[in-house]
């Protein structure tokens, strides 16, 4: 759970300044653009810049341009309170998108809630995030839903009766691995080991020795790309070539780039697959602008921006004063939105989207 600092408590929020019809409509983006998980945050920024560029090229929102205010939070919760304070004080800002992790997003949440500015996280999966206030929304599935797919991969796709689960030492990893382990045990499987992995870990020899001695049927890498890539390489170097699966963070191409041939055969799940014909327009536009295909994290950010801008558009179109509170109401009560990650219809800030099981094959992702 995020810690509310004294600095946060001391913030006094002024009423939103009035804006004219010619003023830009501002959206805040805060994400890790540097650090060990920067690959995810950079995809956020690229996708949101793409969407905002498309909207502005088409005339903006009723003639008003959208402007993005971007901040690098390095995925450090202590930075997010300061960033949130800066964003809520920005004239014309009526929506914030971010952050990447649960801890970072929840550190900012009280400030956005107090300022009555809606916050959409493209990626946060922990159920507690949307319980912060009516101003928090998620674009990704909740971890309780994701854990069911994790268990399906382990039991049905990897055909494992015993498994070890190394997990990232943060709120997401703790909740995900615990939920996945409980479902495995409930189905009659056995979790031989569930062990936390600190960010930026590089020497996994003690963990590899443990895993080797347990002789599991499979390993589920409930980690981020950097740590998962190093661990699977070291497992293979130790002669342990057992089936492997992983959660949605490993759908970042960074995992394949870092793990190389050791990523082959890893089974994952995603709510965005670039090979889906219905996503062709987005995939082509993204590739034309950035020279590479979008991943799930770019798609989630793109949908976050799109659903947010459409809420803003409805407020303006209906002739209401453009405030964060009015945008929040449109997000909460608006019609279902069909995006590149599926249907968005918020239920108390959360969504439910259908996953696709994929496998890493020949250096890329294929539907399993």
For 92-140, the pLDDT digits (tens) are: 999 999 999 999 999 999 999 999 999 999 999 999 999 999 999 999 9
The domain limits of the chain are 6-10+23-141+279-344, 143-270
| Phi-psi domain of 158 (left: phi exceeds 0; alpha: psi -120 through 50; beta: other) | alpha
Q: Which two tokens stand for residue 356?
A: 């696709």
In the predicted model, is pLDDT for residue 219 greater than 50? yes
Sequence-ordered alpha helix ranges (H) in the chain = 6-9, 38-57, 77-88, 102-115, 143-152, 171-186, 205-214, 225-237, 253-259, 280-290, 296-317, 324-333
Q: Region 66-78: what's the mean pLDDT?
A: 96
Q: How confident is the model at residue 19 (pLDDT cuts 50, 70, 90)?
A: very low
**218 DSSP β-pair partners:** 163
Phi, psi of 74 (to 5 degrees): 55, 15
* pLDDT at position 6: 34
What distance separates the 2 farthest-apart alpha carbons in the chain?
68
In the predicted model, is pLDDT for residue 307 greater than 70? yes
**Architecture of the structural domain at 143-270:** 3-Layer(aba) Sandwich (3.40)
Q: How confident is the model at residue 21 (pLDDT cuts 50, 70, 90)?
A: low
- Summarised one tens digit per residue, pLDDT across range 312-345 is 999 999 999 999 999 999 999 999 999 999 999 9
* pLDDT at position 35: 93
Domain 6-10+23-141+279-344 identical in fold to domain 143-270: yes
In the predicted model, is pLDDT for residue 9 greater than 70? no
- The CA distance from 54 to 51, in Å, is 5
* Percent share of the chain, pLDDT over 70: 94
> Hunting for tokens 């004219």 — which residue is that?
20
* pLDDT at position 22: 72
Topology of domain 6-10+23-141+279-344 in CATH is Rossmann fold (3.40.50)
Q: How confident is the model at residue 2 (pLDDT cuts 50, 70, 90)?
A: very low
Query: Taken in order 194, 195, 197, 198, is the CA torsion positive or negative?
Result: positive
In the predicted model, is pLDDT for residue 3 greater than 90? no
CA angle 58, 56, 296 (to 5 degrees): 100
* pLDDT at position 282: 98
């Amino acid at each position: 759970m995020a810690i509310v600092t004294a600095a946060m408590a001391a913030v006094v929020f002024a009423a939103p300044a009035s804006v004219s019809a010619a003023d830009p409509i501002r959206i805040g983006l805060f994400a890790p653009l540097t650090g060990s998980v920067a690959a995810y945050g950079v995809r956020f920024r690229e996708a949101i810049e793409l969407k905002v560029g498309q909207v502005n090229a088409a005339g903006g929102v009723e003639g008003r341009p959208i402007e993005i205010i971007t901040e690098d939070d390095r995925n450090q919760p202590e930075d997010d309170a300061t960033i949130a304070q800066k964003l809520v004080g920005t004239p014309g800002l009526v929506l914030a998108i971010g952050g990447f992790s649960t801890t970072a997003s929840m550190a900012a949440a009280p400030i956005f809630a107090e300022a009555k500015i809606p916050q959409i996280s493209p990626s946060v999966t922990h159920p507690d995030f949307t319980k912060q206030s009516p101003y928090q929304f998620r674009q990704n599935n909740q971890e309780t839903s994701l854990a069911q797919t994790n268990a399906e991969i382990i039991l049905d796709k990897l055909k494992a009766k015993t498994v070890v689960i190394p997990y990232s030492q943060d709120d997401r990893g703790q909740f995900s691995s615990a939920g996945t382990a409980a479902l495995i045990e409930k189905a009659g499987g056995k979790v031989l080991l569930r062990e936390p992995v600190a960010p930026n870990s590089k020497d996994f020899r003690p963990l590899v020795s443990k895993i080797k001695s347990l002789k599991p049927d499979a390993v589920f890498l409930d980690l981020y790309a950097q740590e998962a890539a190093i661990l699977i390489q070291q497992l293979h170097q130790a002669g342990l070539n057992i089936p492997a699966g992983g959660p949605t963070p490993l759908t970042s191409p960074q995992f394949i780039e870092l793990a190389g041939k050791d990523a082959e055969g890893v089974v994952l799940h995603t709510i965005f697959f670039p090979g889906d014909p219905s996503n062709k327009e987005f995939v082509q536009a993204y590739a034309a602008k950035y020279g590479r295909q979008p991943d799930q994290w770019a798609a989630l950010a793109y949908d976050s921006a799109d659903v947010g801008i459409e809420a803003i558009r409805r407020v303006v179109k209906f002739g209401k004063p453009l405030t964060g509170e009015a945008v929040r109401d449109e997000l909460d009560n608006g019609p279902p939105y069909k995006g590149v990650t599926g249907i968005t219809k918020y239920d108390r800030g959360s969504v439910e989207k259908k996953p696709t099981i994929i496998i890493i094959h020949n250096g890329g992702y294929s539907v399993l």
